[in-house]
Amino acid sequence: MPSATKGGIISLIGPNGSGKSTLLMMIRRLLPSDKGTINIDGLDIYKTPHDVLAKKLSLLRQDNPLSVRLTVYDLVSFGRYPYSKGRYNNEDKQFIDSAIRYLGLQDLKTRFLDELSGGSVNELLLQWSSVKILIMYY
């Protein structure tokens, strides 16, 4: 059974049709698990409230169509959403600013995602996925 240590990363690698996307759909609770359980930090994902799970898990899809006009700052701030529900206090803003500095995005923080190249957006989404975890466990 695959597991990750605190601060670890798990990558799913396999041939087409081997179930990678299906597993991710189950982790996101978009498909039911036909047998067994999926546990994140000791919590059964199907029995854990969404807001609790959102503080422990970040998933990044291969294709991420962005139809909302967001700045880089807005995207990074989503890592704090499970804690503040969008009502960011000074502590939240410090976490967000710290994450932006950590990722070296100070020059881009006011840029809109649709103004960046596709490669830059994909890189940013990957960084956001990892920094969301950083923000949660900071």
Neighbour count for residue 17 (Cβ, 10 Å): 8
From residue 60, give the alpha-carbon distance in Å to each of 35, 79, 86: 24, 13, 21
60 and 129 in contact (C-beta within 8 Å)? yes
- pLDDT per residue over 73-113, tens digit each? 988 888 787 778 878 899 888 988 988 888 888 898 999 88
pTM of the model: 0.53
- pLDDT per residue over 1-55, tens digit each? 566 677 666 777 888 788 887 887 788 888 888 888 888 888 898 899 988 887 7
